[in-house]
Amino acid sequence: MSDIYFDSGVVVDVLSGHPKAVAELRRAKRAWLCRTSWLEILGAAPPSAREETERFLSNFSIREISPEIARRAANLRFERARIGLGAALVFATAQEHGGILVTRNIKDFPAATPGIRIPYLV
């Protein structure tokens, strides 16, 4: 089974108790985050929830952004001019490590995109 990488939107949904997001997280033997997603999630947490959020994020394995991931993200941005930098980095991280990206971001990742799983929409 491929490694499962989670986009920040799905993780935020888990933190909010969204049942489909929680089910997706439970499916993963080992849940991964790109450092970019970690930063987005923790950066958006209100001060009163920062410590709890950081503890929750410590349950994920984190992939740092390597030169190979940065190059792949740059290529994605060239190929898909409308994709945001964060989305490109997250997807490039999953691709570089042969993983599947679980996301609900259909703006940047149409459901038919190889390497993407969109388990639900909000």
Structural domains in the chain (count): 1
Query: Does residue 84 lie within any of the structural domains?
Result: yes
Q: What digits encode the pLDDT tens for the residues 85-111?
A: 999 999 999 999 999 999 999 999 988
In a domain, 122, yes or no: no
Q: pLDDT (tens digit, 9 = 90+) per residue, 1-20? A: 579 999 999 999 999 999 99
Judge contact between 46 and 19, C-beta under 8 A: no
Give the C-alpha separation, 81 to 66, whole Å. 22
Summarize pLDDT for 43-86 with one digit per residue, the tens: 999 999 999 999 999 999 999 999 999 999 999 999 998 899 99
Q: What is the CATH number of the domain that holds 84?
A: 3.40.50.1010
As a whole number, mean pLDDT of residues 39-45 equals 96
Q: Is residue 24 part of a domain?
A: yes
Helices (H), 8-66: 8-15, 19-27, 35-44, 50-57
Instruction: Find, among 44, 95, 102, the residue nearest to 68 by Cα.
Output: 95
Task: Report the C-alpha gap between 120 and 47 in whole angstroms.
Answer: 29
Residue whose pair of structure tokens reads 């930063």 in the numeric block: 39
Q: Is residue 110 part of a domain?
A: yes
The residues with which 108 forms a beta bridge, in sequence order, are none
Rounded Cα distance between 117 and 6, Å, is 10
Residue 102 lies in domain? 4-117
